[in-house]
Chains A and B, each alone.
Chain A
Amino acid sequence: MDTRERPLSPHLQVYKPQLTSTLSIMHRMTGVALAVGTLLLVWWLVAASLGGEAFTTIQTIIGSWFGRLLLFGWSFALFYHLCNGIRHLFWDMGKGLDLPSAYRSGWIVIVAAIVLTVSSWVCGYHSMGAL
């Protein structure tokens, strides 16, 4: 069968980015980022079990400006994935699938992720005595 002349569905690029589609791909991207981030979690646990120099090393790396930037990115990815994951669980129950609800829950997820990220960093700097 000749498959060359078949009509193709348009590629994603022809669509104007929308909140719903942007949040959808962000869920996947933050998920992949968090998978990479688990390496840091494992490293941190192993370093804590070894103590001494191993722990000092990871503390220095995380404490550097680049380490903090990575951790900040990962904390936002975590909260975004967590909040949007809850949104998905509601969809799985058949709730909030209509367009106005999907947009409303989308904005709630964005605001909640930002608030949770900032709060946890305020909490972190507070326990360090920096605030």
Chain B
Amino acid sequence: MSLRTDLGKVRGLGSAKEGVAHWWAQRLTAIALVPLMLWLVINIAHLAGADVKAVQAWIANPVTSVLLILMIIAVFHHMQLGLQVVIEDYVHTEWLKVASIIVVKFAAIALAAISLFAILKIAFAG
């Protein structure tokens, strides 16, 4: 049982009834992605033209694996938050809007799972 009053619960949550959770998550993932993406681009530029053995060795490095995992989680979280706003702005047919958002969210989770599996497979199974 919550001791909070109804007014106390709703105060500050706004018309969307979610408060600033979406907005805040988008900013947090953005801040995380600034160093992560710069790190990724520098490393990919260094890997240009490298063979599969070199790429696998890079991914299997524990520091790389962990940073790649963090990057994938932040990228796909940030991506689905952003695409949701774009869909909400431009798709006005209610069922199509909801369906598009569901597709985007499921795709983001699926792509993240596939990426994480690939990283872990290289890290643990070579």
| Option from B59, B76, B114, B117 in Cβ contact (under 8 Å) with A48 | B59
We find that the number of chain B residues with CB closer than 8 angstroms to chain A is 35
A-B contacts, CB under 8 A, total: 84
Give chain A's interface secondary structure class: helix
Secondary structure call for the B interface: helix
Listed stretches B2-10, B11-19, B27-35, B95-103; interface member: B27-35
Q: Using CB atoms, name the residue of chain A closest to B104.
A: A35
B49 nearest in chain A by CB position: A128
Mark contacts of B92-126 with chain A using CB atoms, 8 A cut-off: 1 yes-contact digit, 0 otherwise.
00000000000000000001001101110110000
Residues of A within 8 A of B56 (CB): 48-49, 51
The 8 Å CB contact of A120, one of B33, B42, B68, is: B42
Which residues of B in the span 42-57 have a Cβ within 8 Å of any Cβ on A?
42, 44-50, 52, 55-56
Q: B122 to A82, Cβ gap below 8 A?
A: no
Q: Which 3 A-B pairs have the closest CB atoms?
A: A128-B49, A124-B48, A49-B118
21 cross-chain CB contacts under 8 A? A31-B83, A32-B83, A34-B79, A41-B75, A41-B115, A45-B68, A45-B118, A46-B115, A49-B117, A49-B122, A52-B52, A75-B41, A82-B33, A120-B41, A120-B42, A121-B45, A124-B44, A124-B48, A125-B48, A127-B45, A128-B49
Using CB atoms and an 8 Å cutoff, list the residues of chain B in contact with chain A: 27, 30-31, 33-34, 37-38, 41-42, 44-50, 52, 55-56, 59, 68, 75-76, 79, 82-83, 86, 111, 114-115, 117-119, 121-122
